[in-house]
Amino acid sequence: HGYHIDILRNDNRAAIDTGLNM
């Protein structure tokens, strides 16, 4: 998921949370 990495650059917590949801 490309946008997953993009979110990580903005907020690691958001990226991790999104990864769990996906």
Token code pair at residue 2 = 């490309």
Model-level pTM? 0.17
At residue 9, the pLDDT reads: 61
| Half-sphere CA count of 19, side-chain side, radius 13 A | 12
Question: Encoding tokens for residue 16?
Answer: 């991790």
Matching residue, tokens 């990495």: 5
DSSP 15: H
Q: What is the pLDDT of residue 19?
A: 64
pLDDT of residue 14: 62
CA atoms within 13 A on the CB side of 11: 4
pLDDT digits (tens, 9 = 90+) for 1-22: 455 556 556 566 665 666 666 6
Please tell me the predicted confidence (pLDDT) of residue 5. Answer: 59
* Predicted pLDDT at 13: 66
